[in-house]
Chains A and B, each alone.
Chain A
Amino acid sequence: MSFLEMLDIVNEEQMKQGKEGFAFDHDCREGICGMCSLVINGMPHGPDHATTTCQLHMRKFKDGDTIVIEPWRAAAFPVIRDCAVDRTAFDRIIQAGGFVSVNTGAAPEASTIPVPKADADRAFDAAACIGCGACVAACKNASAMLFVSAKVSHLSFLPQGKVEAKKRVLAMVAQMDKEGFGNCTNLYECQAACPKGITVDYIAKMNREYLGATVTYAEKVYGKD
């Protein structure tokens, strides 16, 4: 039985007794949509390494264990009810620049630009992010650096995304700050909590890109001050 199936049973029992159920987010239940979001025994997505809550199974616990369940806690993720939180801040960060500006129909033939396999693979490792927000929940600063750096790196590793890379990193980081996410202090908790194995290497890459962009691009866009 999976962890969420256990919660289903708890809720069914509650309902049968005429009590309110317990609100939590979930959807695909196969570890890819990023909707499930529980801090279980102090760990986002629970004790299993690189596993979302929906793929956590009760066999990881012992009979008689007390399990503590909490919501993602971050100022930028206001709690809606019980363990359901509002993560639209992530959508707004993507809106700030987490895309390639290409209109439908305007694309060149797919094989026109070869991409070295190593670059494609590293872009993919970053693109594997499911946007669940466990990195934020794990960080004592509630920093979204792992999430933002994954998108920044995914696109800047690829030639298609390089064109807008400088503008993108500046805009996304600015939006991240605006949403109230904290800064990175290199504790690596995000990497440990990430269900998709995104590493802090991408944060280093983003910092490098950001620094470069502030020197060579920000002035052009935002003026000297």
Chain B
Amino acid sequence: MILDSKIPGGSIEEKWTKHKFELKLVNPANKRKFTVIVVGTGLAGASAAASLGELGYNVKSFCIQDSPRRAHSIAAQGGINAAKNYKNDGDSVYRLFYDTVKGGDFRAREANVHRLAENSNLIIDQCVAQGVPFGREYGGLLDNRSFGGTQVSRTFYARGQTGQQLLLGAYQALMRQVAAGKVKMFPRREMMDLVVIDGKARGIIVRNLITGELESHVADAVCLCTGGYGNVYYLSTNAQGSNVTAAFRAYKRGALFANPCYTQIHPTCIPRHGDLQSKLTLMSESLRNDGRIWVPRKAGDTRSPDQIPEEDRYYYLEEKYPSFGNLVPRDVASRNAKQVCDAGLGVGNTKQAVYLDFADAIQRMGVAKITDEDPYKVPMRIFPAIHYTMGGLWVDYDLMSTIPGCFVLGEANFSDHGANRLGASALMQGLSDGYFVIPFTIGGYFAGTKLEKVSESDAAFEDCKKQTEERIHKLLSIKGHRTVNDIHRELGNALAALLTSSNSPKSSLSTLSIVKNLAVATSVKKARLRKAKQSAMTKTSATSVLGNTRATVSHRNSPRNLLPLITSTLLLGATNNERTEFDFEDLASEGCQDQSTMFLRTCPSWKCSTL
């Protein structure tokens, strides 16, 4: 397959303007003849559904939560970047573009990033008009704060809940279109499959999470706005429902996945506190603006932090990176935190944390609630955590995946952040894709594509639904011994350990063995479980990872944990530079909603680096 990114010609500043003009248009009266499915209602999904509805398209919007307002964009804290230059500190569209590309280790698609920087200012205008209560100066004008990886103040914020306020703006715009009859809302639905007819995405199969019924939905295009795959590592800052199933199903139908190795580790997370923890919680990166990160200079220093004098404190970021100090990009901050902890300088019971000292930013974060420690008295302990995935489904400049008619927006695509996303850029990308990119590019697709009429009763829909039913039936008829959470925990932790290690081929092979043996272990009798796992830990032979192994998993009540094994795929694909594939055909349970098992097999390779 030849991947054509369809980046328009011309200088970087002209590409988007030129492209917008060159895209064919759909006559306003004809827009109502097209139906668009939007899966997900986070910043990308809600903004896309609302904007497309405003244009006159018929939109069907799906979310896994009980209300579109609960999508996980809501948890973003710190802010959203824009090149307004309100601080008069030398910011510009080009500088935002430059910082984003540089922060992403020059691996982002530059044309997309420049478009993102151009759109950033429009996003702020739009959100303010919607009533998003951004932080303001006493003069009544908008305030900015600084963020990691940049030396200008360009981040707009709404206290510690910028994501919530932006999402409510998009959600309210969406609700307005629902009231106007242009968007039909389908909450508590999980996307089970993508229906491809004549090579084009023409609909989806969803499961109604209340009744358990499968539903077919027809459309002329499908937009996946379903977020990233961070939860494959078990503990992450993602919500419990962020299960990457939609992207995975699209991948199974032929949409290529790019840069799976690029997983962002966020530097300022509250350290994990035990084995039964279900998720990690961040403190906003903007705290790094107010705080200083340090560890004791000598390993084995057991004094309480307030007893350690200034000269015995190692402010490692300030010493190593004097010009950025504590505001280095996230990957640099995380890597250094890991390094000092690996060197034995870590603090707290687990020795897997560093101190973040700060004075007044605490009240808006309410951290004492989680750790039961008073940050006024002792410095907070922080440690890096899996947070965001830069990789995702491959898209061209129009945000279309390798399946025509299947568009991918926001964190679910791969294009804008390279190998590392700068703080306050995720919100920017989600809203840029939804408000200001897809409304243009989807029109270009409709105007330039012949779409046959299809309906729910067509063979392709019936087949797809039947396959989904069979998959579920197969799963339901397997009686397993372990819960999905249990498997998820073991596998995810193994992958996370690998991810945060130095990624040597040897360690990736041992993780593959764990994966494989986990699969074996779950299909054999419980009594043999421990033995199998022990052997998993010791096998490193490459041959042990090949072959089809089936796992049986019991799972009753957590309908959303349709397993995240996919990223092992992704991760391993990254380290070995080849595509490895999991199939969740079987991960099963009785009497319950969702499940799957995995097959592990390697596939013909393609190089991540060529994308």
- Distance, CA A4 to CA B74, complexed state (A): 19
B172 touches A100 (CB 8 A): yes
B140 touches A115 (CB 8 A): yes
Within 8 A of B (CB), among A2-53: 2, 4-5, 8-9, 11-12, 14-16, 18-23, 25-35, 48, 51
B276 touches A5 (CB 8 A): yes
Given contacts A1-B276, A9-B276, contact A21 B161 (CB under 8 A): no
Contact of B555 among A15, A29, A55, A57 (CB under 8 A): A15
Is B137 close to A, CB under 8 A?
yes
Is A160 close to B, CB under 8 A?
yes
- Distance, CA A22 to CA B557, complexed state (A): 7
Q: Which residues on the B side are within 8 Å of A155 (C-beta)? A: 131
A158 touches B75 (CB 8 A): no
Write out, one digit per residue, whether chain B residues 53-89 have a CB within 8 A of any chain A CB (1) or not (0). 0100000000001111111101100000000101000
- Distance, CA A111 to CA B126, complexed state (A): 11
Closest to A82 in B: B557
B274 touches A107 (CB 8 A): no
Is A71 close to B, CB under 8 A?
no
Within 8 A of A (CB), among B573-611: 589-592
Given contacts A4-B278, A20-B591, contact A27 B557 (CB under 8 A): no
Q: Which residues on the A side are within 8 Å of B326 (C-beta)? A: none
CB distance from A59 to the nearest CB of B (A): 7
CB distance from B484 to the nearest CB of A (A): 9
Write out, one digit per residue, whether chain A residues 191-220 have a CB within 8 A of any chain B CB (1) or not (0). 000000000000000000000000000000
- Distance, CA A48 to CA B366, complexed state (A): 13
A154 touches B75 (CB 8 A): no
Is B558 close to A, CB under 8 A?
yes
Within 8 A of B (CB), among A118-161: 120, 123-124, 127-128, 130-131, 154-155, 158, 160-161
Given contacts A5-B278, A29-B279, A102-B126, contact A35 B65 (CB under 8 A): yes
Given contacts A80-B210, A90-B67, contact A27 B241 (CB under 8 A): yes
Write out, one digit per residue, whether chain B residues 275-307 have a CB within 8 A of any chain A CB (1) or not (0). 011110110000000000000000000000000
B556 touches A20 (CB 8 A): yes
Closest to B560 in A: A27
Q: Which residues on the B side are within 8 Å of A27 (C-beta)? A: 65, 70, 72, 239-241
A107 touches B558 (CB 8 A): no
Closest to B67 in A: A91
Contact of B51 among A29, A104, A109, A160 (CB under 8 A): A104
A32 touches B75 (CB 8 A): yes
B179 touches A96 (CB 8 A): yes
Q: How many residues from A make CB contacts under 8 Å with B? A: 73
Q: Which residues on the A side are within 8 Å of B74 (C-beta)? A: 28, 32-33
- Distance, CA A206 to CA B303, complexed state (A): 54
- Distance, CA A95 to CA B179, complexed state (A): 5
Within 8 A of A (CB), among B110-155: 121-122, 124-131, 133-142
Within 8 A of A (CB), among B525-569: 554-558
B276 touches A20 (CB 8 A): no
Is B435 close to A, CB under 8 A?
yes
Closest to A114 in B: B140
- Distance, CA A105 to CA B127, complexed state (A): 10
Given contacts A2-B278, A110-B124, A158-B131, contact A98 B241 (CB under 8 A): no
Is B486 close to A, CB under 8 A?
yes
CB distance from B142 to the nearest CB of A (A): 6
Q: Which residues on the A side are within 8 Å of B122 (C-beta)? A: 105, 107
Q: Which residues on the B side are within 8 Å of A90 (C-beta)? A: 67
B131 touches A35 (CB 8 A): no
Write out, one digit per residue, whether chain B residues 247-281 have a CB within 8 A of any chain A CB (1) or not (0). 00000000000000000000000000010111101
Is A108 close to B, CB under 8 A?
yes
Contact of A21 among B140, B175, B556 (CB under 8 A): B556
Is A62 close to B, CB under 8 A?
no
Contact of B278 among A29, A91, A95, A108 (CB under 8 A): A29
CB distance from B64 to the nearest CB of A (A): 8
Write out, one digit per residue, whether chain B residues 223-254 have a CB within 8 A of any chain A CB (1) or not (0). 00000000000000101110000000000000
Given contacts A25-B66, A28-B239, A96-B179, contact A114 B141 (CB under 8 A): yes
Contact of B176 among A80, A95, A117 (CB under 8 A): A95
Closest to B164 in A: A32
A32 touches B161 (CB 8 A): yes
- Distance, CA A104 to CA B347, complexed state (A): 48
Contact of A120 among B72, B133, B369, B591 (CB under 8 A): B133
Write out, one digit per residue, whether chain B residues 391-417 have a CB within 8 A of any chain A CB (1) or not (0). 000000000000000000000000000
A101 touches B176 (CB 8 A): yes
B142 touches A130 (CB 8 A): no
CB distance from B179 to the nearest CB of A (A): 4
Q: Which residues on the A side are within 8 Å of B126 (C-beta)? A: 102, 104-105, 107
A127 touches B165 (CB 8 A): yes
Given contacts A14-B557, A99-B173, A117-B138, contact A154 B239 (CB under 8 A): no
Q: Which residues on the A side are within 8 Å of B69 (C-beta)? A: 34, 91, 131
- Distance, CA A80 to CA B187, complexed state (A): 14
A15 touches B483 (CB 8 A): yes
Q: Which residues on the A side are within 8 Å of B481 (C-beta)? A: 16
Is B425 close to A, CB under 8 A?
no
Contact of A103 among B54, B70, B71, B86 (CB under 8 A): B54
Closest to A37 in B: B66
Q: Which residues on the B side are within 8 Å of A23 (C-beta)? A: 557
Which residues of B line the A interface, CB within 8 A? 47, 50-51, 54, 65-72, 74-75, 84, 86, 121-122, 124-131, 133-142, 158-159, 161, 163-165, 168, 171-173, 175-176, 178-179, 185, 187, 210, 237, 239-241, 274, 276-279, 281-282, 369-370, 372, 435-436, 439, 481, 483, 485-486, 554-558, 589-592
What are 16 A-B pairs at a CB distance below 8 A? A5-B276, A5-B278, A20-B591, A25-B66, A29-B278, A29-B281, A32-B163, A33-B75, A94-B172, A100-B130, A102-B126, A104-B126, A107-B122, A111-B86, A113-B128, A131-B69
Closest 6 CB pairs of A and B: A21-B557, A114-B140, A107-B129, A99-B172, A95-B179, A124-B133
